[in-house]
Amino acid sequence: MTHRLRIGVLAGEASGDILGSRVLGALRERYDEVVVEGIGGPLMQAQGLHSLYPMERLSVMGFVEPLKRLPELLRIRRALFRHFRDAPPDLFLGIDSPDFNLALERKLRRSGVKTAHLVSPSVWAWRRGRIGGIRRAVDLMLCLFPFETAIYREHGIPVRFVGHPLADEIALSVDRRAARAALGLPLEDKILALLPGSRGGEVRLLAPLFLQAAQILWRADRQLSFALPAASAARESELANVLRKDYPQLPVRLLAGRSREVMAAADAVLLASGTATLEATLLKRPMVVAYRMARASWWLVSRLVKTPYAALPNILAGRALVPELIQDAATAQALAARVQPLLDGSGAARAQIEGFDMLHRALQQDYARTAATALAQLAAPADGGAGGRSVQH
């Protein structure tokens, strides 16, 4: 007798492909055979996924593009439903992409397929009314952050905190000098990393602000230098033009990509609110977080979002662990004033690092194996067997 798992999986973008591939790898450690169908990218395909459609067909961003592609997206979702309804897997796992996945999960669950969803939608921050739809869609919610579980328990939805893969991937202590040597940065200088975001709109709003703050700091300390990673060739060209035109004397090293290595090499980080703040947290680099958006967008977001903090380390800690300067509060002078004590290794910097260490340890849950265990338990037959299907030979 061998244990076999047949699982449906859907990831709509590269980040989901990464998350899913690790879980599939851990499931393969548990089962003699894992049969995987659905949609995913090259990493999940390397773990045996038969992708029924190219993942790129689901990777749409913004407001207008999804509307243009809506007929195709609905057609794909209907076809996936029919496929899994007619040949039910032991389990269906939707990874992120909640607008697409939750509707599919709801229909599959109604048809008798067990469903799980990996990566909680931000119901704790906005659109809390979605929780009722999630309850109808999933048998199990898998959360990457511990604070996300409360709202699901409150509404009687089975939930499991599985940890974050980056917390397993990044060591508890990262060698700053080794990171500098790898990037060719000065070993003895004080270095501030500047990360104004990856999207064009973010960079256009935040890069000039960050560079103004950098100039204020450099005029006060000529031993200070700066490292600025560019997320793409387009961002690199834009940033190079700004530096050449407005900051020809400022000692800024512009690098193509490698944002994690740049943060690891820095004494402190000034960055846009977003996922990079989690990496900075796990790297234990003191930080100041800032964000600006168009006024109309800010008016809307400030009324929709119901959370006291914007920066992920503050949300995780449940307190103001790092300074966050949002919208009108984000001025060059204010940013420079908050960054300065962090560069000097002050008590504020040490307090941040201690808080980051606690968060890192809390997020280290052996993500892939923990998620695989939860899925195996969900897939287990009602008689309490090992999960999946037992096949007689």
Contacts of residue 4, Cβ cutoff 8 Å, sequence gap at least 6: 31, 32, 33, 34, 35, 388, 389, 390, 391
What percent of the chain shows pLDDT beyond 70?
88
225-234, 305-314, 335-344: which has the minimum mean pLDDT?
305-314
> Which CATH code for domain 2-163+365-391?
3.40.50.2000
Give the HSE-up count for residue 61: Cα atoms under 13 Å, Cβ half-sphere.
Answer: 3
Mean predicted confidence (pLDDT) in 151-169? 96
Structure tokens at 232: 């793409």
Mean predicted confidence (pLDDT) in 313-332? 93
Structure tokens at 157: 């939805």
Contact 167, 360 (CB under 8 A): yes
Give the fold, CATH level 3, of 176-363: Rossmann fold (3.40.50)
pTM listed for this prediction: 0.88
Rg (CA), the chain: 23
**181-197 per-position pLDDT tens digit:** 999 999 999 999 999 98
DSSP code at position 56: G
**What is the number of other CB atoms lying within 10 angstroms of the CB of residue 236?**
17
**39-63 per-position pLDDT tens digit:** 999 999 999 999 999 998 886 544 4
Determine the 3-state secondary structure of 204 from DSSP: helix
Segments making up each domain of the chain, as ranges: 2-163+365-391, 176-363
Alpha-carbon distance of 283 to 367, in angstroms, equals 18
Structure tokens at 288: 């100041």
Same CATH topology for 2-163+365-391 and 176-363: the answer is yes
User: Which pairing describes strands 2-11 and 389-391: parallel, antiparallel, or unpaired?
Assistant: antiparallel
**What is the number of other CB atoms lying within 10 angstroms of the CB of residue 132?**
11
Quote the mean pLDDT of the chain: 89
Q: Please report which helix (H) or strand (E) contains residue 279, including its range.
A: helix 276-283
Torsion of CA 11, 16, 19, 20, to 10 degrees: 10
Contacts of residue 43, Cβ cutoff 8 Å, sequence gap at least 6: 17, 18, 20, 21
**65-78 per-position pLDDT tens digit:** 556 667 888 999 99
User: Which pairing describes strands 91-95 and 268-272: parallel, antiparallel, or unpaired?
Assistant: unpaired
Say what the pLDDT of residue 56 is. Answer: 85
62-76, 93-107, 148-162, 271-285: which has the minimum mean pLDDT?
62-76
Structure tokens at 108: 């599959």
